[in-house]
Amino acid sequence: MSERILYGYWRSSAAYRVRIALNLKGLSYEQRSVHLVKNGGEQHSGAFKQLNPNQLVPVLVDGKLSLNQSLAIIDYLDETYPQALLTPTDPARRYLVKALAQDIAVDIHPLNNLRVLQYLAGTLEVSDHDKSQWYSHWVELGFEALEKRLQTTHGHYCVGDDVSLADVCLVPQVYNARRFNIELTAYPTICRVTVSLSELPAFAKAVPEQQPDASE
């Protein structure tokens, strides 16, 4: 059994980021599925709350360390397993990569997380139409800005021709947007970079539908 365990869910974009990072670094890992919907969501179970009181996936267990927050997990992986560095060492490039990653993971993703959508629909009784509008609004606002940024930074990938943390965050967010039927033609750079990334084996292997727990 692997020493490294990723608690995640096939459709979780934050877990998808960590799968990509682990694959890029060539690190083996065992996946344990935390079904985010079944039985009211296994992330709320007593056993999982012991691992992450925030009740969110992913959690990575690496030997004695148990870590939540995908960006922190990836920073940890980068520092511990420096092959295929995802955050460049040059400070200007490093923090450009981090800013782009945060544009996605900090400013776009949390507004459309499952628990936010469930709160809108369940507690605030927002209609399906208004919930979709909420989702599209925040993704489109974020993608408009990201598209402008990437126009000045991109090569094959988000920042030049090296795969970075920004790419690791971009692909799952685009997957999510497609899943919610967001029209992406207004973001040609985002689309082009995503196509280039999807051709890389580490990204292809991390696609939600390829995961052992992929189901409806």
Ligand X SMILES: N[C@@H](CCC(=O)N[C@@H](CS)C(=O)NCC(=O)O)C(=O)O
- Residues binding ligand X (CB under 6 A): 12-14, 36, 41, 43, 56-58, 69-71, 105, 113-115
Contacts of 163 (CB under 8 A, 6+ apart): 24, 84, 86, 157, 197, 200
Q: Which is nearer to ligand X, 69 or 194 (CB)?
A: 69
Q: Residues in the chain, how many? A: 216
Q: Which is nearer to ligand X, 14 or 190 (CB)?
A: 14
Smallest distance from the beta carbon of 33 to ligand X, in angstroms?
12
Q: What angle do CA 163, 101, 111 make, to 5 degrees?
A: 140
Smallest distance from the beta carbon of 28 to ligand X, in angstroms?
21
Provide the token pair at 16. Answer: 């998808």
- How do 65-68 and 59-62 pair as beta strands? antiparallel
Which residue lies nearest ligand X, judged by its C-beta?
Answer: 115
Q: Which is nearer to ligand X, 105 or 108 (CB)?
A: 105
Smallest distance from the beta carbon of 12 to ligand X, in angstroms?
4
CA 110 to CA 168: how far, in whole Å? 16
First-last CA distance in the chain: 28
Smallest distance from the beta carbon of 161 to ligand X, in angstroms?
26
Put the strands of the sheet holding 65-68 in their side by side order. Answer: 30-33, 4-8, 59-62, 65-68
Q: Which residue has the tokens 């507004």?
A: 111
Smallest distance from the beta carbon of 132 to ligand X, in angstroms?
17
Q: Which is nearer to ligand X, 42 or 157 (CB)?
A: 42
Q: Which is nearer to ligand X, 132 or 196 (CB)?
A: 132
